[in-house]
Chains A and B, each alone.
Chain A
Amino acid sequence: MTVATAPSVGEIAAELEISGAWLVDPAAGREGPADLVVREGLIEAVTWLSGGDADGIDANGVIVAPGFTDLHAHFREPGFEDAETVATGLAAAAHGGFTTVCAMPNTNPPVDEPGVLRRIEAAAGASGSPVRVLVYGAVSAQRAGERLASLGELADAGAVGFSDDGAPVHSTPLFRSALAYAGMLGVPLVDHPEDPSLTDGAEANEGLVASVLGLRGWPAAAEEAAVARDLAILAEVVRDVPTARLHLTHISTRASLALIRRAKADRLPVTCDITPHHLALTDEWLAGSRDWSWQATGNPWQAGSIVAAPYETALRVNPPLRAVDDAIACLEALADGTADAIATDHAPHTAVDKDVEFGLAANGISGIETALGLILEAVDAGRLTLLRAIGALTIGPARVLGHTQRHAFAEGNPADLIVFDRSDRWRVEASALASKGKNSPLIGCELPGRVLLTVAGGRMAYGVDEG
């Protein structure tokens, strides 16, 4: 296949002629060989190829997909610009194939009133990046979990949902109010389900690895109890507020997913996402294993799979990397639709916050640039179809946000797409990451699917240097 592009990143309209690529179009439920032409940033023509024209084109080479949407990222600005800024976060997003990113409100000051939201939008505008940033407002003032933030004003200013991510709304009455109020405003409440009374001082998923390493256990039940509470409250709230919607973010355990599966069967308006690291990695990585979840046995000591030093703080994350069976359940939930989306929970941190004792390290993985690679590993292992995986990065998150997805490849629409080479493996190095957060446990790994090109809203967002 050939790709002809002009002009370069930062310029206005993308000009593209792609012939003989594998096009993945989740909105149409279709994938196959195609040609694509973009003129002045708009899709001019998409031609599905057949017969002799399609010869030799398969899903293992260059792939064109709609630009990805990330429901969960931390851009740290304002307040923590040494860890990330909106500009570096958007550059990282473009490098990872994301053209729309939802920024979490745990900045300093937090996004609990419209001024902070406008400040983030202004930073995005000043960055020159065409990647779209959407902002969640905080649920509670100062994210303190005591009284509601300025939800209506935030919604008027463009907040696409509300979340106290990382400081989960522990007060059940406040959670109930927030769910109803957000429902009235027509946006989802995005909850990070965790019962903090069960995770005080917790360091690693409770189980064999935590026991052996002497790490304080982080029980799966802390998440599952919160999911159960959230769903029980949702069931009540929707009777009064039929527009109420709950989105549960970074679900990580089998039992949580079973609860959500049942709630969906009961037609509750609940959605959820899963991170790439919770489906591909397990707590065995803390012991020094580097097996993907689908390769792991549950006992890295017995399997002889320990190849790295233990206590790598880049692996410290909330919720913690879980047991093998939980990661497998995450893959199953994505495959069967229980999980609506893949979200990165991109959480950049400085070396100061990570180059410390495991128990003192900040939670979070810088993950927006490695998401595609991890997911393609799962696809290569036969755990997800390519179409489903790309769907969970595109139409899935769009539905969660209530966006009626413009058909990505409809002629006349602004091009919002990425081109990646599934067979081109790239080495994750700190210097290769556009994010300021180098806290990736995948540093040193080779991942498939180098992103060649990202076009957001008709404009070039990222292009790999030729030659």
Chain B
Amino acid sequence: MSLAVPDEVGSALGTVVPSVEAAPETQSTGWRHRHLLDLDVVTWPEIELVMRTTDAMREVLGRPIPRVPALRGKSVTLLFYEASTRTRVSFEVAAKNLSADVVNIAVASSSVSKGESLVDTVRTVEALGADMLVMRHAVSGAPYLAARTFAGSVLNGGDGWHAHPTQALLDLYTMREHLPGGSVAGRKVVILGDILHSRVARSNIWALTAAGAELWLCGPATLLRGFEAWAAAGGAAGRRFTVTSSIDDALRDADVVMALRIQRERMAGGLLPSLREYTARFGLTRERLELAKSGALVMHPGPLNEGVEIAPDVASGPNSVITEQVTNGVAVRMAMLYLLAGAQAGGVASEESLR
């Protein structure tokens, strides 16, 4: 599974802009994946197709009635095994903006190990008529099991520590919107915080290295475990990124700084002495941000612990695009629902996008 490098744009996908008014099955977008489980198998031209489709969805969102009939008659089921408001609502709004029917299923995570099996649940959802399944699960890889069972398309809404592909796509979209030239190629992007437990960081590694960013991952050594090895291996594959515990090195001349949520469980797990100490060493403050380029973008996937991983005046400061990330999240998810519906209609085999 090799990944395309940014200069491969000259493919047939290079210019396609889907007309999002029409149902996706009426046109060929060139999107060839039945599912969106992670970005590791998505090529750079495909990511650019997502970006262009998102542009079209942004235009829809700007209308007085932000709705198109593209997915009329399609049923989108949101199957959330983990509590989530932001991502679930974002997908729900996205699906409704495309005129899809939406079914919400929340499963308490405590019943995961004793209740109905995931496979049975997915079969039930399918029998109830779902065409697309958006899934959030605490166990890494769970959407792959769902995708093996489900006849429609599975969209990973976050699995364990593994992946959160629509978050990485909306992050990329937001960066491109704000960076001069509309490109992250060669830009220094820093992801700061609890890298070890972060599916956002992992999906961003695939997206940002595909985009040619100069990616830095920064956090306490205990929360970077295993990423040195990945950085070393990725370097050889042309997917270079840098891992450091020096926040000064990371922030110096950065174009984008993305802080990640730090969770209290990390103290109980013996990975951090205290939140106070984390904030003192790794909190994103205005003084620290001085090291970055002036006007460097400040991002956060939310929800924020203001005053812990990010200072309130930074979160709401002039460089912050955190609120825009939320808006772009709806547009990106509309784009993905649209493209996957098209692939489904085009008869893309399930196995193809499982790897």
Contact = CB atoms under 8 A, between A and B. Distances in A.
A213 interface: yes
Interface in A310-353: 310-311, 352
Nearest to B350: A309
A211 B141 contact: no
A210 B233 contact: no
A355 B2 CA distance: 29
A360 B145 CA distance: 12
Interface in B91-145: 112-113, 117-119, 137, 139-142, 144-145
A215 interface: yes
B119 A356 contact: yes
B293 interface: no
Contacts of A210: 226
Interface string A187-215: 00000000000000001001110111111
A307 B354 CA distance: 10
Contact of A208 (B199, B230, B351): B230
A356 B145 contact: yes
B117 A356 contact: yes
A288 interface: yes
A214 B161 contact: yes
A210 B142 CA distance: 15
Interface string B285-296: 000000000000
B72 interface: no
Nearest to A309: B354
A301 to B, nearest CB: 6
A316 to B, nearest CB: 11
Interface residues of A, number: 32
A462 interface: no
B202 interface: yes
Contacts of A310: 141, 144, 355
Interface hub of B2, B3, B202, B229 (most chain A Cβ within 10 A): B229
Interface hub of A211, A212, A214 (most chain B Cβ within 10 A): A214
A352 B114 CA distance: 12
Interface in A1-46: none
A300 B234 CA distance: 11
Contacts, number: 101
Interface string B154-167: 00000111110000
Contacts of B199: 214
A288 B145 contact: no
Interface string B333-355: 00000000000000000010011
A214 B159 contact: yes
A298 interface: yes
Interface hub of B1, B137, B354 (most chain A Cβ within 10 A): B1
Nearest to B226: A211
A309 B148 contact: yes
A355 B117 CA distance: 9
Given A288-B355, A311-B141, A358-B141, A214 B233 contact: no
Contacts of B281: none
Tell me what chain A mostly uses at the interface: helix, strand, loop, or mixed. loop
A302 B140 contact: no
Contacts of B40: 212, 301
Interface in A257-310: 288, 298-302, 304, 306-310
B275 to A, nearest CB: 23
B237 A301 contact: yes
Contacts of B150: none
Interface in A349-375: 352, 355-360
B278 to A, nearest CB: 21
Interface residues of B, number: 36
A458 interface: no
Contact of A304 (B1, B118, B227): B1
Nearest to A288: B355
B226 A359 contact: no
A217 interface: yes
Given A355-B117, A359-B139, A217 B351 contact: no
B320 to A, nearest CB: 28
A302 B238 CA distance: 9
B137 A357 contact: yes
A357 B229 contact: no
A298 B236 CA distance: 11
Contact of A311 (B2, B140, B161, B225): B140
B230 A357 contact: no
Interface in B200-257: 202, 225-227, 229-230, 233, 236-237, 239
A311 B355 contact: no
A212 B39 CA distance: 12
Contact of B237 (A299, A307, A360): A299
Nearest to B227: A211
A203 B140 contact: yes
B226 A217 contact: yes
Interface in A21-78: none
A217 B140 CA distance: 12
B230 A213 contact: no
A102 to B, nearest CB: 32
A356 B118 CA distance: 7
Contacts of A311: 140-141, 144-145
A33 to B, nearest CB: 46
B1 A215 contact: no
A284 B259 CA distance: 31
A302 B230 contact: no
A206 B118 CA distance: 26
A217 B139 CA distance: 14
Nearest to A215: B140
Contact of A207 (B1, B112, B226, B236): B226
B140 to A, nearest CB: 4
Interface in B34-59: 40
Nearest to B195: A211
A306 B229 CA distance: 19
A430 to B, nearest CB: 16
Contacts of A299: 233, 236-237
Contacts of B119: 355-356
Contacts of A288: 1, 355
Contacts of B351: 309
Nearest to A308: B355
A393 B236 CA distance: 40
A357 B141 contact: yes
A419 B108 CA distance: 54
A203 to B, nearest CB: 7
Given A215-B162, A359-B141, 19 more contacts: A206-B226, A207-B229, A208-B229, A211-B227, A212-B230, A213-B140, A213-B162, A288-B1, A299-B233, A300-B1, A301-B1, A301-B237, A306-B355, A309-B354, A309-B355, A357-B112, A357-B139, A358-B142, A359-B140
The 4 residue pairs across chains A and B that have the minimum distance between CB atoms: A214-B162, A311-B141, A214-B161, A211-B226
23 contacts: A203-B140, A212-B40, A212-B230, A213-B140, A214-B163, A214-B199, A214-B202, A215-B162, A288-B355, A298-B233, A300-B1, A301-B3, A302-B2, A302-B233, A309-B354, A309-B355, A352-B117, A355-B117, A356-B118, A357-B142, A357-B145, A358-B142, A359-B141
